Amino acid sequence: MFVSRRIASMSESATLAVGAKAAAARAKGHDVIAFAMGEPDFDTPENIKRTAITALERGMTKYAPTPGDKAAREAIARKLTQENGVETAFEQVTVTAGAKHAIYMALQAIVEPGAGHEVLLPTPAWVSYKSLIELAGARCVEIPGAVANGLRITPEQLAEAITPQTVGIVWNSPSNPCGTAYPAEEVRALCAVLERHERISIISDEIYEKLIYPEVAPGLTHFSPGSVASLRDRTITINGMSKSYAMTGWRIGYMAAPRAMARELIKLQGQMTNSIPSFFYPAIVEALTNSAEGVEAMRAKFAARAALIKRELDAVPGFVTVAPNAAFYAFPDVSAHFGKRTPRGTPIDSAQSFADALLDEAHVAVVPGEDFGACARGHVRLSFACSDDAIVKGIGRLRGWVASLDRQASA
Ligand code: PMP
Ligand code: GLU
């Protein structure tokens, strides 16, 4: 059967692929310690689950309006306005089938295929952005964040990357895979560059917004580009329930866009998926208005794990790790081990071969860096959305395996 070139040339999601490989190894009976998926190990808070169950029992089982019911859109608009300073009316909100779907739609809306459009992507960046930028028909222009600068880009780099073809930037702070957030003043400085280029739309993916650890980086706070008055009319702010509320399997995201753009996005969603399941809408309201304690409890646990995994990784010879201070990822540079062999004789010459051999031989799953951007080729990603015990045991096992590489080193 014919497959279009734009789909055939697309790569599989590396995060989902490693998640599947880890699950397959487990199914074969291996004791796998998985740092693979960016998925909280916590269960969805009980009050949110009960709200959905009650709505279902009460018969909320019909189609809802395409962008979502009014109460949920109003709760989202209030949250964005009050918590993020992104002034939003409910008409500007679309509730989507996960944040991933929102990113897909936003890119479809801002890119004209065949027009030579470019979309900027500060890297290391989550694996799906580049594929979705290219699928929309734009060239993905990576802006590499240096390890020496905490994997963050500078305003000078941003200014240099902009060309007359630049139509957008995909912004993600806190970052997957870096596990870091930009300090507010750095976001403001980058926004100041974007202010000078009116053609550039900003897609700001803020899905890890609530997972920031001032315990690790004192004073660190979240800053939304959509709160900058001069950028408001060209920013699409994306967020979702997956990470902050441990609701990955529910598939709920949302985006707020300028009014005219919101109408276009709702039109697109109406032709794609229509609304999400209608009995989820009251659960969104419950999550946004009545779950702060549950979110804080999870955040505090992640903060402690961020410090723990950094300590453990620093004890692995050759690893260089920027301290995680947000989200639930550590992203060490492991390239010091390239050029070695495993005890079974497998050559390690890339993050991919490192991750493959680590899973095969030590049953520890990490995501190789290649698909997070060219500057991430020497890195692997570890998600610390797992127990303290798993972190200590898994990195202990990783350390032992890395030590065995040293013994087997070849030219
Ligand atoms: N953005 C980022 C940065 C992510 O890490 C993820 C991974 N889940 C998503 C968006 C998509 O989230 P979801 O579709 O579950 O809302
Ligand atoms: N975003 C998560 C991750 O990076 C979940 C998988 C995915 O959608 O990519 O692991």
Give 275-322 pLDDT, tens digit per residue.
999 999 999 999 999 999 999 999 999 999 999 999 999 999 999 999
Give yes or no for residue 409 having a pLDDT over 60: no
Closest CA to 235 of 136, 91, 126, 92: 92
What residue spans in the chain does CATH classification 3.40.640.10 cover?
Answer: 59-290
Q: Give one DSSP letter per residue of 253-284, joined into a string.
A: EEEE--HHHHHHHHHHHHHHT-S--GGGHHHH
**Cα dihedral 48, 53, 59, 61 sign:** positive
Q: Which atom of ligand 2 is nearest to the CA of 36?
A: 10
Token pair of 366, please? 């990490």
- Closest residue to atom 5 of ligand 1, CA basis: 176
Cα 199 to Cα 109: distance, rounded to the nearest angstrom: 14
DSSP assignment letter at 152? B
pLDDT on residue 406? 77
From the CB of 324, is ligand 1 less than 6 Å away?
Answer: no
CATH homologous superfamily of 5-43+294-407: Aspartate Aminotransferase, domain 1 (3.90.1150.10)
Find the ligand nearest to 243 CA: 1
What is the distance, to the nearest Å, from the Cα of residue 139 to the centroid of all Cα atoms in its chain? 20
pLDDT in tens, 56-114: 999 999 999 999 999 999 999 999 999 999 999 999 999 999 999 999 999 999 999 99
What is the distance between the alpha carbons of residues 309 and 353, in angstroms, rounded to a whole number? Answer: 23
For residues 262 and 96, the answer to whether their CB atoms sit within 8 Å is no
Proportion of the chain above pLDDT 70, given as a percent: 99
Looking at domain 59-290, its CATH architecture is 3-Layer(aba) Sandwich (3.40)
* Residue range(s) in the chain whose domain bears CATH number 3.90.1150.10: 5-43+294-407
pLDDT at 111: 98
Q: 411: CA distance to ligand 2 center in Å?
A: 36
Q: What is the pTM of this model?
A: 0.96
Decide: 372 in ligand 1 pocket, CB within 6 A: no
Distance from C-alpha of 171 to C-alpha of 204, rounded to nearest angstrom: 5
**Is the Cβ–Cβ distance between 404 and 364 less than 8 Å?**
no
202 neighbors 226 (Cβ within 8 angstroms)? yes
* pLDDT band per the 50, 70, 90 thresholds, residue 408: low
Which residue CA neighbors atom 4 of ligand 2 most closely?
38
**Which tens digits make up the pLDDT trace of 335-373?**
999 999 998 899 999 999 999 999 999 999 999 999 999
Look at residue 322 in the predicted model and tell me its pLDDT. 97
- Paired strand residues for 93: 256
Residue 375 vs residues 29, 143, 331, 381: alpha-carbon distances, Å? 35, 9, 12, 13
Distance 43 CA to ligand 1 centre (A): 17
